Amino acid sequence: MGEGQPGAERITSAPIRSFVLRQGRMTPAQTRAFDTLFGRYGIPYTGTALDASAAFGRAAPLVFEIGSGMGETTFEIARVHPETNYLAAEVHLPGVGALLKRVEEAGLTNLRVIRHDAMEVLAHMIPDNTLAALHLFFPDPWPKKRHHKRRIVQPGFAALAARKLAPGGILHAATDWSEYAEWMLDVLRAEPLLENTAAGYAERPDARPLTKFERRGLGLGHPVHDLLFRRRA
């Protein structure tokens, strides 16, 4: 794809509901973790600006993750970088329970979880110009053309993400769906407040650990693309 504006027939800026809520079956441990630990490590959705320093009990750079899944990557990144505050948004209860369990077992103090639509959290609870980074790892690619409007990466998302990032902050996205990677590249390149840190796709940073899912995909020959865009000053 070229550097120019993406074609209107491919990309929409309409409001996005990029996930299908599948509750899934929670294990007893996940249920127990959610019931007993959300009050300690969870943040309720309020629709009003979050005071991150109060929520974490300290002032530190803040990283927001959209869709933390089962929390494996989220947990590992937070564990390795205790100097940074991490806020993860996830709608699926089993994933939230699993992540809370990991946080408690490791005694992490720099990770909090919101169980809510991440786009609403980003729009209404994250103040502008505050994020050190925004993580979007392996979002649903919605591969069928008629479903492309449900992809989370759209011009409206790029503009919102850029506004929430502090100058110099990084939007880090990753996908194992090559066509979606091209789509992401087009959309993010078209956002004036963002600049690509690479000529195209970036090398996977050491800060993003490989997941079991990713290793399996790589073993099957599925390429993984990382995109690292910086908020302009």
Catalytic residue positions? 140
Does residue 166 sit in helix, strand or coil?
strand
- In order, the DSSP letters of 175-217 are ES-HHHHHHHHHHHHT-TTEEESSSSSBPPPTTSPPPHHHHHH
Enumerate the β-bridge partners of residue 227: 173
Helix (H, G, I), strand (E, B) or coil at 88: strand
Q: Do the Cβ atoms of 37 and 66 come closer than 8 Å? A: no
Q: Which helix (H) or strand (E) holds 169?
A: strand 165-175
Alpha helix ranges (H) inside 61-177: 72-80, 93-106, 118-124, 155-164
